[in-house]
Structure 1
Amino acid sequence: MMSVEKINGKIEIYKTVTHPGSLKILMVLNRGSAGFTGIMFESKLSPSVLNKLLKDLVTHNIISKNGREYVITSKGEQILRILLELTNAL
């Protein structure tokens, strides 16, 4: 069982990945790399929300940035699978 200290360390990551916009971003990037504008138009997120989520997702190694393009990481693919399973179960 995970200790309270470890759980506290994961709360920020949890808050990021459970944001509705994060699922949209991960779904866009699961189809291939994309730049900020492409993600914004496909996800229908505002620039400010998208910018914050992209920074948080990069910080937590869920996506990575290569030049001007963002790509989903293997950790991000795993999280996306879990989020989709959860969404389908609802």
Structure 2
Amino acid sequence: MEYIKSQMESFADTGASINEITITEPMWIKGNRTVKIYWEGPKDRYRFIHLNERGHYDRSGKWVETKGKGAIDRAMRAGREAYFEAVKTAIGGMI
């Protein structure tokens, strides 16, 4: 989750989107160990996250590239590498 917060800080205004990041406990979904990351809180930032991540059209119909475009995706890719390193270390200690 820290990777996501650090990526989002580059375009943070009030910090509401960062403050509303929520993560579930690990769970099994279709045989895969998974956690879900979502936005929940009093400012309802979940409504805007997809706009920041992908870009959007403004009221005049012009495409807007946001400062945060791809921030969550970058963080997830970076976190994936850290996850696999942790698993390799744990497995190495068991052998």
TM-score when scaled to structure 2? Answer: 0.26
Q: Which structure has the greater CA radius of gyration?
A: 2
- In terms of fraction of residues, the more strand-rich structure is 2
